[in-house]
Amino acid sequence: MFAKRANHSKDSATGDDALDERTDPEGDLSFAIVGVGASAGGLEAFTQLLKALPLDTGMGFVLVQHLDPEHESALTQILSRATLLPVSEITDNQPVHPNHVYVIPRDTSLGIEQGLLKLTPRQRTRAPHRPIDSFFESLAQDQRERAIGVVLSGTATDGTLGLEAIKAEGGITFAQDDSAKHDSMPRNAVAAGCVDLVLSPADIAKDSRGSPNTRTPRSRCASFSLHRKRIERRRQRTKNPPKKAHLESERRARSASLRVPQL
């Protein structure tokens, strides 16, 4: 426990040094970042997810909750009681580290650039505030196939466009099942066809394959752990490209199995 907490001091690092310690030699982030969005009923759903979340997923978790812009939020303090993972309220230009949980502050909009969380003041407009869509779209653009999106309990439709962006970049998407206290947000995302798996918060956290809802197509990657392994395989292929002779051998083997004449 103390070792886990000691790592929390890394959260205060920013800039190139902070980025370097989280990257592989090619400069790519070496872990997935999970965006989790919720609105009404979100505290309960977040708590269920964090209580079931393993301490060694190797992923960073960013929680985006609809918050009252006029009142201080105790969300970070409350959620820190649900897990031994370090839980912190986001500060501008903060790097994401694996096995850490980051919580959006009130009255802000959140983005991410090269693995650094970016805060801007919330704009006062007549349009609905959509912090989940905004962050998920930024996450998809920045992390591409390393992005994971989760929509939990909430009203209205925030999160659907963001999940579509993540799915389009090759990431994986989850929505809460009928355990959601308010199901408008997850139900809208499922209806839009941009959700890989529909599970309870605890099952999402447990890396369970679960039973995908019949309304959503079977996942291309049915769990956090499989998605992480897929990212690792891609990184290894980038670092250690197959030898030409090996590729030629594989090509001949495939040709033989298909009975294609050798050229």
Please tell me which residue in 11, 133, 142, 158 is annotated as part of the active site. Answer: 158
Decide if 200 is catalytic: no
Cα torsion angle, 116, 142, 200, 55, sign: negative
Q: How far is CA 246 from the centre of its chain?
A: 35
Pair 141, 169: CB distance under 8 Å: yes
HSE-up of residue 106 (Cα within 13 Å, Cβ side): 10
Please tell me which residue in 39, 109, 134, 138 is annotated as part of the active site. Answer: 39
Decide if 88 is catalytic: no
The 3-state DSSP class for residue 150 equals strand
Q: What is the amino acid identity at position 59? A: M
Residue closest to 159 by CA, chosen among 146, 143, 176? 176
Residue in this structure with the two tokens 């030409």, named with its chain if needed? 244
Catalytic residues: 39, 66, 158
